[in-house]
Amino acid sequence: MSKTPSFLPETLAAQGAAEPAAPFFDVVAPLHLATTYERGGDGAYPGGRVYSRDANPSYDAPETTLCALEGGAAAALFASGMAASSAVIQVLQPGARVVAPQGMYWAWRNWLVQFAEQWQLQLTLYPVGGLAAALATPADLVWVETPANPTWEVTDIAEAARLAHAAGARLVVDSTVPTPVLTRPLELGADLVMHSATKYLNGHSDVVAGALVTRETDAFWEKIKRVRALGGAILGPFEAWLLARGMRTLFVRVRAASASAAQLAAHFESHPKVAAVLYPGLASHPQHAIAARQMQGGFGGMLSIRVKGGAEAAMAVAARLKVFKRATSLGSVESLVEHRASVEGPGTLCPDDLLRLSVGLEHVDDLIADLEAALAD
């Protein structure tokens, strides 16, 4: 990282990793579109690059910035969060034991179940509060998503790391929702951090990307890098450049969204047409004490409400919203709403009365008024 480590994270994010350099001394890192690089007469590569599939210079700024924000040893960009996640699993040997929560991003859970059978992995999916029991026998990899999408259970990362390491396993934490603005899993004992960078890291609904950050650049990490290079699940240079741009506003966006989400959660917790508000920042949340301990400066911009009247009532509320847009994804500047059970389909664990809300940067009064009107009809 070219910035001195004494700089605070907000400064590191706002200025990015690239220092202005000759010949133009650009304040913003230039975009590198080349796919290949010329050898010198002696067969060496004077620029240190061989091929763009795994070494495009446009990766440098976002990878270096994210690595510094997470306090890791190295970071790697991928074509999507799913690509980043699956790369971790693909380096495991057949027969390895993977322990993961029942409640997590549904597409990733489904992929794990299918891949485990195909790859002869031993997959254990544990319920909320069941990690200790699941690790009563040795394991190779423990996966944690916290807060867990879309019901926002919180896992104690430090305790999960202790349990995983005692069982001989590595701990991977999906930290897409809190981002390093609110939680730094490596400092709490995690071995790897995964981000769907499509969401808060980019923050503008215009890039699909994923990222991994590692505590150590060990043999396991090198295998992950090989999976990326040879499997080809890479990010394009323009997308990497956009991601670097998005990360420069990460702290202000996450903090603003968190503040608005907290206001929404508090406002609707006692609403007569709301059965429950699921948000780690509420004192009523079952794991609020854990969240308060490991989420510093806010509880994130994601919450869910359970609408009285079941699926039909929840869908009707979503249909009446004007400010919240009915769309998949989360973590961008615009607020989104989604009826998750119908999106996930058969086999979903999501309650059918649940609406997932991704709070953006609109004025919180407009968001509250929008939900009030939709609930009132």
Q: Which residue among the candidates 59, 105, 200, 279 is catalytic per the annotation?
A: 105
Q: Which of 3, 49, 53, 308 is catalytic?
A: 53
Report pLDDT for 2.
45
What is the rounded distance in angstroms from the CA atom of residue 351 to the CA atom of residue 139?
30
Asked whether the predicted pLDDT for residue 80 surpasses 90, the reply is yes
Per-residue pLDDT tens for 136-145? 999 999 999 9
Residues 292-312, mean pLDDT to the nearest whole number: 97
CA distances in angstroms from 266 to 261, 262, 324, listed in the order given: 9, 6, 18
Q: Is 53 a catalytic residue?
A: yes
Could you give the CA distance from residue 12 to residue 204 in angstroms, rounded to a whole number? 20
Q: Calculate Rg over the CA atoms of the chain.
A: 21
Which pLDDT tens digit goes with each residue over 99-134?
999 999 999 999 999 999 888 999 999 999 999 999
> Rounded mean pLDDT of 18-36?
84
Query: What would the pLDDT profile of 152-193 be if each residue is shown by its tens digit?
Result: 999 999 999 999 999 999 999 999 999 999 999 999 999 999
43 pLDDT band (50/70/90 cuts)?
A: confident
- Active site includes 174? yes
pLDDT for 5 equals 57
What's the pLDDT at 48?
Answer: 86
> Has domain 250-376 been given CATH number 3.20.20.30?
no
- Residue 54's nearest CA partner among 223, 219, 232 is 232
221-257 in b/e form (b: 16+ CB < 10 A) is beebbebbeeeebbbbbebbbbbbbbbbbbbebbbbb
Residue 186: the pLDDT is 98
Q: Which of 84-88, 173-177, 228-232 has the lowest mean pLDDT?
A: 228-232
- The residue among 247, 252, 264 whose CA lies nearest residue 359 is 264
Q: Which CATH number fits domain 9-247: 3.40.50.1100, 3.40.640.10, 3.40.50.2300, 3.40.50.620?
A: 3.40.640.10
Segment 247-266, tens digit of pLDDT: 999 999 999 999 999 999 99
Mean pLDDT value across residues 217-227:
97
Q: Is 225 a catalytic residue?
A: no
Report the largest interatomic distance among the alpha carbons of the chain, rounded to a whole angstrom: 76
Tell me the DSSP string of 147-199. Answer: SPTTT-----HHHHHHHHHHTT-EEEEE-TTTHHHH--GGGGT-SEEEE-TTT
The Cα–Cα gap between 295 and 287 comes to: 12
Pick the catalytic residue from 199, 245, 253, 340: 199
Decide if pLDDT at 50 tops 70.
yes
List 97's β-bridge partners, or say none: 122
* 364 token code pair: 């919180």
**Distance between CA atoms of residues 224 and 141, nearest Å:** 14
Q: Distance between CA 262 and CA 272 in Å, rounded? A: 19
* CATH 3.90.1150.10 domain residues, the chain: 250-376
Structure tokens at 136: 């009563």
Q: DSSP label at 342?
A: H
Which of 140, 156, 174, 191 is labelled catalytic? Answer: 174
As a whole number of angstroms, the distance between CA 283 and CA 275 comes to 16
Q: How far is CA 191 from the centre of its chain?
A: 15
Average pLDDT, the chain: 95
Inter-CA distances, 272 with 276, 306, 307, 342, 364, Å: 10, 11, 10, 24, 20
Residue 1's pLDDT is what? Answer: 37
Q: Is the backbone of residue 129 left (phi > 0), alpha (psi -120 to 50) or beta? A: left
Confidence of residue 18 (pLDDT cuts 50, 70, 90): confident
45 is catalytic: no
